[in-house]
Amino acid sequence: MTGFGPESLKELGQYNEAVVLFRDETDRGAAIVGATYVQEFLGRVLRKRLVPGPATNQLLRRMAQRLEARILLCSALGIIDDDEITSDLKLISDIRNQFAHNLPKASFADPEVKELCAKLRLVERLPNPSGLEIKQDARERFLFSLGIATLLIAQRALGGEAQEGERDEAAET
């Protein structure tokens, strides 16, 4: 299993700073800012995996500007190889779109949004020893799913370079 290297720990620190923003936002703001955070995070991960240069810049600016495109590209490159992560990221995109396109009524209390949030599966990986309402509250499910997806992708895609060398050494023995 890939560990947390300097890059993934840096990303985790950035996510923790962003959580403060999510918590202080309205429902609409939390959904849009949260999904945008994931979109930008996937862009940073892709930049680390793709060959630097004009073609990568153009790809990320034009073709892979949208969250859905970045999810597909990360899946195609093997950066995301977990069906639950892919599914939750697509749901996060759908939830963001509900807030962006249903201006008069979108909130986490809206039945359509609640239904989408109920489909988020990553949050089920969390232990719930204190009986918090995380798994029942649509907003909390959404925000925790953002965090779990970010953490799992950072661990896999940005894990320390030392782990790669450790794997090579283990294969030689």
**What confidence tens digit (pLDDT) does each residue in 50-100 have?**
999 999 988 888 877 789 999 999 999 999 988 999 999 999 999 999 999
Residue 17 is part of a domain; what is its CATH number?
A: 1.20.120.330
Average the pLDDT over 137-159 and give the result: 86
Residue 92 lies in a domain: yes
Per residue in 20-42, pLDDT (tens digit) is 777 788 999 999 999 999 998 99
What share of the chain in percent tops pLDDT 90? 42
Q: HSE, CB side, 13 Å, CA atoms: give it for residue 103.
A: 0
Which distant-in-sequence residues (6+ apart) come within 8 Å of 2 by Cβ?
Answer: 155, 156, 159, 160, 163
How many independent structural domains does the chain possess? Answer: 1
Neighbours of 55 (CB within 10 A): 10
Residue 167 lies in a domain: no
Report the distance separating Cα 145 and Cα 132, nearest Å. Answer: 15
Residue 94 lies in a domain: yes
Residue 122 lies in a domain: yes
If pLDDT is split at 50, 70 and 90, which confidence band does 135 have?
Answer: low
Residue 173 lies in a domain: no
Residue 1 lies in a domain: no
pLDDT at 22: 76
pLDDT at 5: 57
For residue 16, is pLDDT > 70? Answer: no
- Cα–Cα separations (whole angstroms), residue 74 to 16, 104, 122, 125: 23, 33, 18, 22
Q: The domain containing residue 85 runs over which residues?
A: 6-158
Residue 146 lies in a domain: yes
DSSP letter, residue 131: -
| Closest by CA position to 113, among listed 27, 50, 10, 4 | 27
Residue 73 lies in a domain: yes
